[in-house]
Structure 1
């Protein structure tokens, strides 16, 4: 994991600024604390900059990387798995200067051009300059584990791992009011939007090509769920066996590192399955980290300890208290460059900080399993098989009260995905906190229709409800919040590289082909995964992996206990810096009402307050202006 910055002149006379590159790379120091490298074209029209977090070839893996003749230069963030076989095949025709995975990209591009993407397996973002074709080529991995954003400014194309690097290079920090409006209605900006005016997120599975002053974005991969008539015919036993094999392989390839690695662990089947699969391949006991909240219904430390003991791992438990959330929320929001709806972001921020302080640089996590195996309560609700859900999901993934209208979504899809209905209830509450002028602006657009217009409708046509819902979720919640804000943002604030076996595209491409009933079986979510990893005394499948108490446990979202009602002073002081699109008087009135609300109402109000806090904290930290 590293930090990237790249500049390309789009107009005659424009030149890459060395001072701007220095500032951009300095802002990304936490992403790459080990080395900084730059390359400038002789005419000053192109510049590539890299901050390195050394994981492989610690002494020799400096970037930017170049081809033998210097005509192809690249900077890479992330990991390319299975690179050993690619390198062995390329070595007869190319000279390698390092032992890193990243260098294979340069030589793959020399042989295959932009089709090199078809050969990549991993979590990555990169920028490559082809001097012969005068082409800048950038791309992001299939699910968007590694971030990359871009903008045009003063005749230049600028790309970076985070928006803060673009600000440091001279791009003005202004609110993107379209994104603010969408987020205030359905929590998430549109897939290509960021909260910052003029700054675009390169979507997952997409590449950016810049040639002859023109910039275009093209998709090279998508989720491509099968239509209902194309679903694979397969027995449960065969599906379980194949899932186990592919998961084991996805975990195994992510264990290669020349630095210590550890595991994020909770009481859920996902992170436990990753640890169980990895344990036999490690030279000694694994080290795992978990968070403990001191409130019933939110604390999974005991289950995490059960799993650690089961595989002989060392477990490090980090206590996170409400005062920790209050103290570190400003830093968490700034690092994530986005909005949060709960204190869980601070918990991840502190967990990764602790891992780094204790000598680790790589962490394997269970993120993505709910998207791949249909693990969320809202998906069971879409199927009509949801039993009593965990109350913590109310207002977050399950509706809690009246919401904004989503009839446009119902008209186009034939139903309203449950998670969208839940976000609509959040949107109604958030709408009550907007300034009068901005509320008028927001009311001019239909948030549901706006979302569907931004999505490739061909990916929804002919698919079942669960697949349609998952597609929309993956393009918004997964990429924009779970991976970007809670994942990369919290990990790279402390120089931790996250690796996500469940988002291995070879595993996903098999699982997506399975019939829905193997993912949600009666009222059991992630059925095929649970069957593949559950330890059974009889010696049947999965023995020795995940204890039954964890493998059969219902999905519980990773959430911190509500704190807003117990933090009125923090709320008031933060809301004093509210951006103009929020109504300070209404925010203050809500703070005053909080103690009188029922516990259920406080839980449902918490995400709205955290959204408002996020807007205020971003406004202050980045000195945001209106466009």
Structure 2
């Protein structure tokens, strides 16, 4: 993957200096080469920072058509590109490079924006079409790769990271409404005023007459009435087939490919499938936490030994996590509710130091196959067992308990039932944190029920034609896939932590062939009658994992809590940071309230630690953003 940047100014000249400043901030995304292109009239500028993965010798960008009328920059990977290239060559296309990115140029020449349906992979792209005087930008179906945009003083800015847009001339200001209403999580806003995301599965068109955004893909679950009976063994075989194909396509690179490995079925299955597809040893990388409740290295070690992998264990201390937290937030440009983002940041740095540029990762499996305990709870509750569903959330395991703060102080269940017909279990924990944070707001912003307003805005913005008539489980899966997946999982644990160290993550579970295959299956194959989550996936990958992994309960990737422990470095960092003048500069927080909250941390009952820790980490995230970006009101 790489970094991209564009400035489009229909009425004035683009500044070469600002374009260069912006792309230089993305050096970590593309250390091999930085290049810019300016149109003859200086109204359009494209910039690219390259991380070489395929065609190391001649794959620099921007790419241009033979007649010089179309120019393109791409961040990402296109799979099956050899086959597409052969088809294009048979149709008369002449390629200048061996890069996978060039297929997008030739596809656009032939199909225009419809070319997106042909592209398979994780990507963001920006293209200038001189013939139609159109800037075309697009983001992959799931939001694996970031793409931000802003309109300011008659110019349109697009880039892989917000910091590039700021360096190119935008002012760093808080989007206070986005923060208060969680629009940076539920919708396509950010925490930076005027800066938005191009939503996953959407493309942007800009001309002198204005900017428009269109959707080209969405999750598509069958209605209950239209759900077809599927033979279980046939479904398992089909899922196995598409997963193997998705893994195989992501092993193609001109540099070594490693695998991130935990003790869970998601990453272990990727390792098992990858090992079955190639004859060489695969290098695996696992974090080893000090806290045994969170450490999965023993199971990962067994799995690596089972397939003969070249296994690397990376010990990580609580002190290291604390020392890297603030930098991890600078890279993510958003809030973190657990220090797992910093842990992933450290892991990626160590993998890069081992000489790797590409890793396969397991993100997306829980969203695609219904792997979260909240989904199982929803199914149990809708079958009439409310008490059992909540107890299962509590009892899954100690680590998973930290994901669920079961009661929101101001939750109005009627609100959710109006939209969904039930209250999805993934929503109350988010509302709970937001309600608690509301107690720390400055006088100007206190007194409103922001959490309910936030959810109301989210539901009002949904494409209800996609939800009408589908099962409650699929409704809940859709909601998570439109919010937490692109705006948290793929940011805090994905691209931003990997590309901070020039490392490309590839996600087999978020292959649209896999997602479209699984979406069509009945919900009973995702969570079966015994309430086994990800049932069809576990059965599909059973031949590729050890029994311990197959039989293991859900164990999410979370870092051990430490910010509440007075003996830990993170506790002291929190105390120093939240008492600093930097927090006073955050316009929507009342510093005296924050100080009072911090003073009372030591008296927090242990059963309240998960909520208190999430609040403190959010405050630390806000501090980190203010510290790095010096945001104004």
Mapped to 2, the partners of 1:298 and 1:430 lie a distance apart of 27
Query: C-alpha deviations, 1:346-371, integer Å up to 9, x for none?
Result: 11000000011110000100110001
The match for 1:97 is 96
The match for 1:27 is 25
Secondary structure, in 3 states, of the residue corresponding to 1:208?
strand
Secondary structure, in 3 states, of the residue corresponding to 2:123?
strand
Mapped to 1, the partners of 2:598 and 2:416 lie a distance apart of 33
Q: Is the 8 A contact 1:266 1:291 kept in 2?
A: yes
The match for 1:161 is 160
Mapped to 2, the partners of 1:69 and 1:397 lie a distance apart of 57
Alpha-carbon shift at residue 436 of structure 1 (Å): 2.5
Mapped to 2, the partners of 1:142 and 1:397 lie a distance apart of 28
Tell me which stretches of 4 or more aligned residues in structure 1 moved more than 4 Å. 441-445
Q: Is the 8 A contact 1:60 1:98 kept in 2?
A: yes
Q: Aligned to 1:69, which of 67, 70, 79?
A: 67
The match for 1:410 is 417
Mapped to 1, the partners of 2:431 and 2:451 lie a distance apart of 16
Q: Aligned to 1:529, which of 512, 516, 537?
A: 537
In the alignment, does 2:232 pair up with 1:236?
yes
Mapped to 1, the partners of 2:531 and 2:607 lie a distance apart of 25
Alpha-carbon shift at residue 61 of structure 1 (Å): 0.4
Mapped to 2, the partners of 1:176 and 1:188 lie a distance apart of 9
Secondary structure, in 3 states, of the residue corresponding to 2:192?
coil
Mapping 1:82-481, distance limit 5 Å: 82-92=80-90, 93-183=92-182, 189-384=185-380, 386=389, 387=392, 388-394=395-401, 396-397=403-404, 399-400=406-407, 402-440=409-447, 443=450, 446-481=453-488
Mapped to 2, the partners of 1:35 and 1:447 lie a distance apart of 42
Q: Is the 8 A contact 1:35 1:51 kept in 2?
A: yes
Alpha-carbon shift at residue 581 of structure 1 (Å): 1.2
TM-score by length of 2: 0.94
Q: Is the 8 A contact 2:175 2:194 kept in 1?
A: yes
Q: Aligned to 1:39, which of 34, 37, 40?
A: 37
Mapped to 2, the partners of 1:444 and 1:80 lie a distance apart of 39
The match for 1:546 is 545
Mapped to 2, the partners of 1:470 and 1:17 lie a distance apart of 44
In the alignment, does 2:527 pair up with 1:520?
yes
In the alignment, does 2:572 pair up with 1:569?
yes
Alpha carbons of 1:24 and 1:441: their partners in 2 closer, same or farther (altered >3 Å)? farther
TM-score by length of 1: 0.95
Mapped to 2, the partners of 1:122 and 1:443 lie a distance apart of 37
The match for 2:505 is 498
Q: Is the 8 A contact 1:396 1:423 kept in 2?
A: no
Mapped to 2, the partners of 1:398 and 1:251 lie a distance apart of 35
Query: C-alpha deviations, 1:417-453, integer Å up to 9, x for none?
Result: 1010121222222222222322246659712211112
Unaligned runs of 5+ in 1: 535-541
Q: CA RMSD in A?
A: 1.6
Mapped to 2, the partners of 1:510 and 1:611 lie a distance apart of 37
Q: Aligned to 1:601, which of 599, 602, 608?
A: 608
Q: Is the 8 A contact 2:348 2:497 kept in 1?
A: yes
Unaligned runs of 5+ in 2: 382-388
Query: C-alpha deviations, 1:124-176, integer Å up to 9, x for none?
Result: 10001111011111100000101101001121111000110000001001011
Mapped to 1, the partners of 2:416 and 2:189 lie a distance apart of 20
Q: Which deviates more from structure 2 when the two are superposed, residues 583-592 or residues 193-202? A: 583-592
Give the count of matched residue pairs: 612
